[in-house]
Amino acid sequence: MNTVSLTDVASYLPGEPVPAEFYTEYPGAEDKLRHHPMFKIPPLRHHVAADETNADMIERAVQPLIERHGRDEIRNVDVLLVHSQLPDLPFVGAGTEVARRLGLQPEWLIDVANAGCASFVYMLKLARRLLTTTDARTALICNAQSAAGQCFTQSEVRRLAQAAIPGDGCGVGYVTTSAGAPVLDVETRHIGDYAGDMTVMLDDGRKYWEAGESQLRIGFTEASIAKVLARGNRLVPEVVTDLCGRLGVSTTEIDVFITNQPNRAFLRNWREALQLPPERHLHTFDQCGNLFGAAIPITLDRAIHSQHVKDGDLVVLGGFAHAGDFAGAVAIRWHSAQG
């Protein structure tokens, strides 16, 4: 079996950082939980511009890869996998538009609409499988997150405590059949029992595409916050522990641990469960908020380029999606392609 490497990652954050006051000083803002340690909102986050699409962000995020590896190299990718939140169009993903913009002609193009906040892990698994079982040799995997500046800035939603948590951004990974930064193993689980517990809420009951006054926001169905907390607490340590077990290493041997970052509670709980010190569980929550699926590649990119990831490090990326309908973790032995 060919060795597949996560050769490089790059990212893009839209616009200038938006301070917390954008929400806290908004008329009618819910403020009772603002000072609570668990709900203390991130000082900064980024918002997409009004006319900025997922494809725009991906195009910008890929530029550093083009600069580092050459335009032709990126143009020749055989596999393009794209996960976007919110999708710009309800009937087609951003993938083909990304291919058009970047001049790609991939044999495999999949818009991934599942695995949410852990979709980078799932796309890495898909890419690895395609690169080891077909003629495909290189892949581009993309996570675009554009819900914060659109959904959460609406006049009514902006007042809610939940609105101040998300942030927008885009992270991309360049995956190749090489041995530089090998993907050691992947552990993923689709958990149908928890499907549909995260949903969009519209107070007047209209479908999201029907005309109306109500403003779309994200919410949970019968599955309460408590249930989702308990699931998240359990799922991420479980998949990471199983992954490490298969690799024959202890979780304490993870050098760099990067996850999705829904809130500070999960960051603290996962780190504790895996017995990792804070300096080994890297996140960008304070600068970027909850980046949904883009969190893992953005944080990884920033960690690599700020020298927080060293050659030879065991890097584990993990997370869970939505209300727990997916969980996954991947292990990589990092070596910089930049020498």
Partner 1 sequence: MSADPSMLADIPGLMRIENTDREEMTAHCMDLTHAVYPHHQVYGQYCTIQEHVDCPPEQAYDYLRLGHHLEEWTYSLRGFAPTATPGLWVGHDRLEQETSIYCKVVANPEAMTVDYHCSWDQGDKLWMIYLMRVVPARLVLDKPGSVITWTNCHHPYYDNNPHPEMSPRPDRPWVGDYWDLFYAGHTVEMKNLKAILEHRHHGGLPVSVPPVTAVVR
Binding site for partner 1 (CB under 8 A): 32-33, 36-39, 161, 225-226, 229-230, 233-234, 237, 265, 268-270, 272-273
Is the Cβ of residue 184 or residue 273 nearer to partner 1 in the bound state?
273
| CB contact at 8 A, 338 and 248 | no
Per-residue exposure over 193-213, b if at least 16 CB sit within 10 Å of its own CB, e if not:
ebeebbeeebeeeeeeeeeee
Is the Cβ of residue 75 or residue 234 nearer to partner 1 in the bound state?
234
Task: Tokens for 225, please give them.
Answer: 């916050």
Of the candidates 52, 65, 33, 124, the one whose C-alpha atom is nearest the C-alpha of residue 94 is 52
Is the Cβ of residue 161 or residue 202 nearer to partner 1 in the bound state?
161
CA distance 170 to 300: 12
| CB contact at 8 A, 173 and 9 | yes
Q: How far is the CB of 34 from partner 1 (least distance, A)?
A: 10
| CB contact at 8 A, 337 and 314 | no
Cα dist. 218→34, 99, 115, 210 in Å?
Answer: 19, 30, 16, 17
| CB contact at 8 A, 40 and 23 | no
CA distance 44 to 238: 31
Q: How far is the CB of 161 from partner 1 (least distance, A)?
A: 8
The DSSP line for 257-309 is EEE--S-HHHHHHHHHHTT--GGGEE--HHHH-B-GGGHHHHHHHHHHHTT-S
Is the Cβ of residue 271 or residue 335 nearer to partner 1 in the bound state?
271
Is the Cβ of residue 6 or residue 223 nearer to partner 1 in the bound state?
223
Q: How far is the CB of 33 from partner 1 (least distance, A)?
A: 5
Q: How far is the CB of 266 from partner 1 (least distance, A)?
A: 9
Q: How far is the CB of 231 from partner 1 (least distance, A)?
A: 11
| CB contact at 8 A, 111 and 93 | yes
Is the Cβ of residue 77 or residue 228 nearer to partner 1 in the bound state?
228
Q: How far is the CB of 206 from partner 1 (least distance, A)?
A: 26
Q: How far is the CB of 167 from partner 1 (least distance, A)?
A: 20
CA distance 147 to 292: 9
Is the Cβ of residue 23 or residue 334 nearer to partner 1 in the bound state?
23
Is the Cβ of residue 270 or residue 326 nearer to partner 1 in the bound state?
270
Quick one: CA dihedral 86, 215, 166, 274, positive or negative? negative
Quick one: CA dihedral 43, 149, 293, 264, positive or negative? positive
> What proportions of the chain, in percent to the nearest 5, are helix, strand and coil?
35, 25, 40
Is the Cβ of residue 36 or residue 100 nearer to partner 1 in the bound state?
36
Torsion of CA 24, 26, 31, 36, to 10 degrees: -20
Q: How far is the CB of 17 from partner 1 (least distance, A)?
A: 25
Q: How far is the CB of 240 from partner 1 (least distance, A)?
A: 11
